[in-house]
Every structure is written in C-alpha cells, then in structure tokens.
Amino acid sequence: MTIPQIIVHGAKVHNLKNINVCIPLNCITGIAGVSGSGKSSLALGVLYAEGSRRYLESLSTYTRRRMTQAAKAQVDEILYVPASLALHQRPAVPGIRSTFGTGTELLNSLRLMFSRLACHRCPRGHYLKPTLAVAAEQELVCPECGEKFYAPSAEELAFNSQGACRTCDGTGMIRTVDESTLVPDETLTIDQGAVAPWNSLMWSLMTDVCRAMGVRTDVPFADLTEKEKDIVYHGPAVKKHIFYKAKNSNQACELDFTYYNAVYTVENALAKVKDEKGMKRVEKFLKQEICPDCGGSRLSEKARAPRLQDAGLHDVCRMTLAEAVKWVRHVPDSIPEEMRPMAESICESFLSAAQRLTDLGLGYLTLDRASSTLSTGERQRMQLARAVRNRTTGVLYVLDEPSIGLHPHNIAGLKNVMRDLIADGNSVVLVDHDTQILSEADWLIEMGPGAGSKGGYVIAEGSLSEIEGNKRSLIGPFLSGKSEVRVREQALKEKMFDQGKIHLSVSEIHTVKPLETEIPKGRLTAITGVSGSGKTTLILESLIPALQALADGKKMPSHIRSVDAEGIRHVKLIDATPIGINVRSTVATYADIHDELRKVFARS
C-alpha cells in the first residue's frame, strides 16, 4: 500500500528554486538546513499557506468575507494537502491584561467554578451554601437576613471585563509619580532648572510662581528647608500674582497664575496624554506599584467575594499550575452531592487543559503571572498546548523551530506532544536546527546548500539513517555525532576573571530567589537552565536594567540590591523582538545602509 503523501511540484516561494518534493502524511517530517536556505519558505510559505487557504475556500462566502484571505502560494501544483495549523517561532508579545491563566484559557474554567459552585455572599455580608439555583439563574435569598440577590456570572468574575478592579482597571498595577525623579540633581537651583517636570511639562514661569509661594529659587535645592521642599513637591494649588519676564526677550508683564506643584504637574500631564509621544515625555517621572485596592489580583472586591474550599478566585490564581491542579481535584468532594456531576464536568475541562501544559513543563508558573514576563519558550509552549488541546484528526501541524527557548530536559515533553498528534491521525512538519528534536522525525528534508540565492534546493531527503549516510547532507554528521559543534577555544578556568568581573546582587523576583552572581568581563558567558528557571528574569529584568541605571546615573530597580560593573558604559540588548515596526522597514533601513547609499548618490 502506498504511503499517503503531499506532492509539491514547482515551488517558487521566496528563494525556492522550482523544487519538487513529497512530504509523507501521518508521521513527523523534519525540515533542516542552514539559516536562509528555504526551510520556512517550504513549510510556511507552501504547505501551511496552501493548506489553510484551501480550508478557508471550503467555507461559505458569508464566512470568508469576514476573514483575511491568503493569496495562492507560488507553486505549480500541490496535491493532497490537508487543513493546516501553524505555530510560529516568535509568538506575539501579549497585552497588559494577559496572564498565564487567560492565555491558556484555564481561567475560563475557574471563573465558571466560582460562579456555579462557590458560596456566594449576600449584599449584607452573609455567605450562602452552594446551590443549583445559581446554574438555573434563579434569585437567591439569604437565610440570615432575607436579602434577595443574584450570584455573579462567570463574566462578572473576569478582570478584563465586568470583574475588573475599578482603581487599576484590571491591570493589577497603578502608575504613580516617582518623586525621586522630579529633582534629579539637587546641586542645581530651581532657577537653573532643578525641578525637571517644570522644564519639560510646564511653563517656565512656574519658577516665578514657586518664588511667590515663599521658596528660595536661587539656592541649591539640597539647601532648601523641608518646608520649602514640601511646597515644591506638594504645595497647594493657590493663585499668585507674579511679575513675569521672558528669558529670550525684554517683554514683561504681571500675571495671576495658579501654582502647580511638581507632583501635580506630572499627574496633570499624564491625564492629558493622547499618544505614545506624549506618554514618553511623562513616563520618565512615573513608577508602577501594586494596586492598593485589589493587591495586584486585578479583581474587584465583589469578584473576590465568592468562596470555594475556603479560597477566593484571587487566591487560586496565585497558585502555580501544579498547585491549582491539586486544588481543583478536591472541588467535587467539597460541595453538595447533587452538584457533583456539574462540578466534575467543569473540573475535567480545567484538568484536561492543565495536563497538556504540565506535560510541556509549565507546572511551575502561577496563573496570575503576566504573559509579558514569560520567556519566548514559555509563550511558544502555551501556543502549542492551545493548538493541540482539541483532539483533531487529519490536520497538518506546521511547527516553526519549536525547540527555541527549550532546555534539552524539556524537549521530552515536546516530543510526547508531537507523538500524541500523530497517534490521533494528524501529520507534523517541523522546521528546526536542534539535532535532538530533528532525530525524532520519521522523514527528513534538508534544504540548502547555502543561504539566500545560494539556497532553495532540496539537497537530501530520507529517513534518519539515510540522511546520516548521505554525503551531500550538511546536517547528517551532526545527527550521527561525527561532527563537533564547538568552533572556538574556551578560556582557562584560572584566567576566567583576568579582565575583571560584574558583580550582581538581587532580591526575590518571579522565580529568581535572592542571589549573588559574578560574570567575567571580556568573556562569552552563557546563561542556561530548564525553562522557567529564571534565565530571562536574571538577565533581561535584572542585569540589563541595573547596568543601564548604573551607566545613566539613575535609580536602580527595586529588586536590585547592588551591582558593581566598573568600566561598563553602554549596554546593548539583542533579543527576539522583531526589528521592523513599519510596513516600509527593511534590513537596509534598519541597519542604516540606505542612509549611506543616499549620501553616495547625492554626491554623484
């Protein structure tokens, strides 16, 4: 019997050179090759593009009009391609309200639990026992005081909807004025511009109004009395009669002007911000703090009220996924017997989604962890778990470098997910460089031999053993273990710190416990560890902000205890953020090559 396969004739997407290739179905197919050789062009530009486009074309005209239509791929013919789903290597950075719980949709089940199964509080503060009347949307009557009320719906327990804290608008954080930034240099006088917000956010005549308030403006700010400093920071909004003379002309006049203290100047400017440019002028005077009303839970007082197993929704969200799974398993036994079938159904929905995330090694994350603080690998595994939670059949899954951000220890979970997809009757095409993940493939296609115009050809294809024995293959020697990956000599241990060191001391933040570390200067230092061990937090949220603050003479982040980095004057961050923010942006414009070309042509 012939193995079913996708047949591609004449693929010309990007740098593909009119290639013909067959991709077997119902197995894992790996696509390897040097960067720029055409791997993603084949996987995403041909297979996924045609698979998704043909599926959308099978829908009704009414539905298609409301969806983005993809153009036909540049390929002469492609046969037997199933409906396709793609998991891109760089998931988009989520919004400010997104958390691990919302991104994985686990919070949907939890909200339903607390809406349908919890003890609800009447307007006078008495708690009622769980009842089926809630699911029937019936009015509840408090047995203590007779007060009538309705239990909150799941929507009313959502912090991105009706259950949001009114103070922070469901973000868990508030922006307040950072008084330490208002007078950055206390050796200056107010006349010399010591009060920074009055220089950039307010009229210069505020200095004259401040003088009329009884503050000396011709002495260094550090020499002012505490009363004078308090007037600068928090003085009342009173109207003063001043004589104002412009600095750049001989014009002068008398004015009645209201005093805006330094703090209110920033608050007033923040309230008037309408665009990103305006926010940049203000944000240097702001700091973020945990919301005092919701304690960072993002939920309103009413949404925090329902209790289940002596816990509120906000309490469960503070748990790690592993802890929440244990908590949910005991929910059905904690409520009246007649409600247990409903409870088991809701809990099963949570547990089945949580199982896939746990298999992928994400059990250490708390449900309220902001998605923007997750690493690329963590966000990609969230994306993978979301895509495979419904047990589909006959779908082509295209994975673009799924091993990015994964420690070798975590790859076992990824392999299990792929094998589960195959067992359910699906097909997997993965693009990757990691030999540990490529060795899991049943069939390999290698693109090359070079990058760009020198690539775009299929230089080898076959089973793992066939690729290892193929002399044209560049990946074969690495799969067989015959080639060494290391290309440079390592520094000797006794000479590691000869050029100096960076000493960093941090207190607890996210998964990083209080620690001190030393990094050698003039050396290549790698930060490794299983996913979620704190690599991103240590470097991107601790070391880099600390070095930038040290170089700029600014205040250190609150969790930085100390940093010693003598001689470090600049910090350059090269991360996974896309470089193009504009539809017209290209590599040439980003690298300033176009600027040089324009100068050359202007001189010619």
Q: Residue 95: is its pLDDT beyond 90?
A: no
Averaged pLDDT, 560-578: 83
What would the CATH number be for the domain defined by 176-289?
1.10.8.280
pLDDT recorded at residue 554: 76
Residue 90: per-residue pLDDT: 64
Encoding tokens for residue 545? 């902000």
H helix and E strand count, the chain:
22, 18
DSSP-based three-state secondary structure for 382 = helix
- What is the architecture of the domain spanning 5-90+375-480? 3-Layer(aba) Sandwich (3.40)
- Token pair for residue 57? 């074309």
Q: Which of 1-10, 148-157, 386-395 has the highest mean pLDDT?
A: 148-157
At 179 the pLDDT is: 86
State the pLDDT at residue 227: 93
Question: What kind of fold does domain 100-172+294-359 have according to CATH?
Answer: ABC transporter ATPase like fold (1.20.1580)
- pLDDT at residue 1 tops 50: no
Average pLDDT over residues 195-200: 87
pLDDT, mean over the chain: 86
Q: What are the DSSP calls for 29-90, one per residue?
A: EEEE-STTSSHHHHIIIIIIHHHHHHHHHTS-HHHHTTSPPPPPPSEEEEESPPPEEEE-SS
List the domain boundaries for the chain: 5-90+375-480, 100-172+294-359, 176-289, 493-564
Confidence class for position 7, pLDDT limits 50, 70, 90: very high
Q: Give 508's pLDDT tier (boundaries 50, 70, 90).
A: confident
Q: Is a pLDDT exceeding 90 seen at residue 594?
A: no
Tell me the two tokens of residue 127: 């708690």
Burial class (CB in 10 A: 0-12, 13-18, 19+), 497: middle
The pLDDT of 360-386, averaged and rounded, is 82
Tens digits of residue pLDDT in 302-331: 999 999 999 999 999 999 999 999 999 999
The token pair at 161 is 């909807």
According to the model, what pLDDT value does residue 298 have? Answer: 92
In this structure, are residues 269 and 261 in contact, taking their beta carbons and an 8 Å threshold? no
Which range among 301-305, 524-528, 593-597 has the greatest average pLDDT? 301-305
% of the chain surpassing 70 pLDDT: 93
Lowest-pLDDT range of 61-75, 150-164, 325-339, 463-477 = 61-75
Average pLDDT on 498-521 reads 88
pLDDT surpassing 90 at residue 447: yes
CB 175 within 8 A of CB 284: no
Q: Look at 295 and 69; give whichever has higher pLDDT.
A: 295
Q: What predicted TM-score, i.e. pTM, was given to this entire model?
A: 0.73
Q: Residue 9's pLDDT is what?
A: 93
Give exposure, 359-383, as e/b (b: 16+ Cβ within 10 Å): bbbbbbbbbbbbbebbbbbbbbbbb
Query: CA 299 → CA 52, 162, 168, distances in Å?
Result: 39, 9, 9
pLDDT digits (tens, 9 = 90+) for 214-230: 999 899 999 999 999 99
Q: Taking a C-beta distance cutoff of 8 angstroms, is the pair 190, 217 a contact?
A: yes
What band does 583 get if pLDDT is binned at 50, 70 and 90?
low
